Each structure stands twice: as structure tokens, then as C-alpha cells.
């Protein structure tokens, strides 16, 4: 469809952290740096890992817990180094169909929420079944990239 796409993602490992009791913006900041330290070598193998995109954030409306995640590069999918920080963990996300809405610009938590609501409304109007109690934000750009930015919101298909 012109206003969203349905992607099929395979099972994959992500490195994640849950930040509790902060605003989404602050959780993203704290979570990003903890995960960045992991890929810079704060792991059992003291191994540097390439930065990947997207950086995702699990949002459950009305909840002040946010799970921030980096995708682990393909060469580390089979045996990712274990984090040294006890707050950081490796998780396996199962294969899933994901409804995706893309948008540009600098994305704030309010903008992500607005785009998620637009996507939810479109999906409901088209009779699509999806998990409405949570969505993911996905950011693809460095904060230093000023133009042609790419952001997404994701809902998982039921």
C-alpha cells in the first residue's frame, strides 16, 4: 500500500536494554549509550561490533518502560558475545510479519506516537489484524545526519 508496507522479518538476535521510569527520549538516550558501550567492546570477548540500523524502541502506551535494541550484525547472529553490563541482554526475536510506516525528519516521541496512530487507523480501516498494545519505533540515521532522514513505526501482524 502507498501509506504502509508489510515486511516479513526472519528470526534474529538483537542486543537490548530495558530502561524503566524515564521519558521515552531519556530512555532512548540512556539505552543507546549502554548498547553503544556493548558494541565498543563492553562484552565478554571485549570484541568491537559494527553499529547497525535500525535502533528500535519498544513502546507500550501508558507504560514508562522502554526496550531499546540494536540489531546484531549477521556475522554475530550465531554466537553473539555476552554483555558485561548486567542490564544489557541478547534476545532472539521470532520471525514475524510487521506493518511498517516510514517518515522523514527528526523524530520525537510525539512524532512517533502520531505516526503509530496514523498507521493503526489505516490498518483498522483495512481490516488488518495486528497487536495494538505495543509498537516499535525504528531510527536509521545518526543524529548528525541533517537531511533525508528515515524513521519508521512498526506494528506486529497477528
Q: What is the pLDDT of residues 102-151, one digit of tens each?
A: 999 999 999 999 999 999 999 999 999 999 999 999 999 988 899 999 99
What are the sequence ranges of the domains in the chain?
5-156
Decide if 115 contacts 105 (C-beta within 8 A): no
Q: What is the pLDDT of residues 79-97, one digit of tens each?
A: 999 999 999 999 999 999 9
Average pLDDT, the chain: 97
Q: What is the pLDDT of residues 39-60, one digit of tens each?
A: 999 999 999 999 999 999 999 9
* Grid coordinates of 153: 513505526
CATH topology (fold) of 5-156: Multidrug-efflux Transporter 1 Regulator Bmrr; Chain A (3.20.80)
Decide if 62 contacts 132 (C-beta within 8 A): no
Cα 49 to chain centroid distance, Å, stands at 18
What sign does the CA torsion over 8, 117, 150, 126 have?
A: positive
Amino acid at each position: 500500500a502507498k501509506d504502509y508496507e508489510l515486511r516479513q522479518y526472519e528470526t534474529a538476535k538483537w542486543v537490548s536494554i530495558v530502561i524503566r521510569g524515564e521519558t521515552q527520549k531519556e530512555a532512548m538516550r540512556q539505552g543507546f549509550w549502554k548498547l553503544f558501550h556493548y558494541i565498543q567492546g563492553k562484552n565478554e570477548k571485549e570484541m568491537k561490533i559494527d553499529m547497525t540500523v535500525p535502533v528500535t524502541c519498544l513502546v507500550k502506551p501508558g507504560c514508562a518502560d522502554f526496550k531499546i535494541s540494536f540489531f546484531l550484525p549477521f556475522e554475530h547472529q550465531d554466537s553473539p558475545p555476552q554483555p558485561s553490563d548486567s542490564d544489557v541482554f541478547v534476545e532472539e526475536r521470532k520471525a514475524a510479519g510487521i506493518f511498517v510506516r516510514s517518515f522523514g525528519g527528526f523524530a520525537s516521541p510525539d512524532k512517533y506516537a502520531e505516526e503509530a496512530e496514523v498507521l493503526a487507523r489505516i490498518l483498522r480501516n483495512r481490516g488488518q489484524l495486528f497487536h495494538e498494545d505495543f509498537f516499535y519505533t525504528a531510527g536509521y540515521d545518526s543524529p548528525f545526519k541533517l537531511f533525508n532522514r528515515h524513521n519508521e513505526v512498526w506494528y506486529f501482524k497477528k
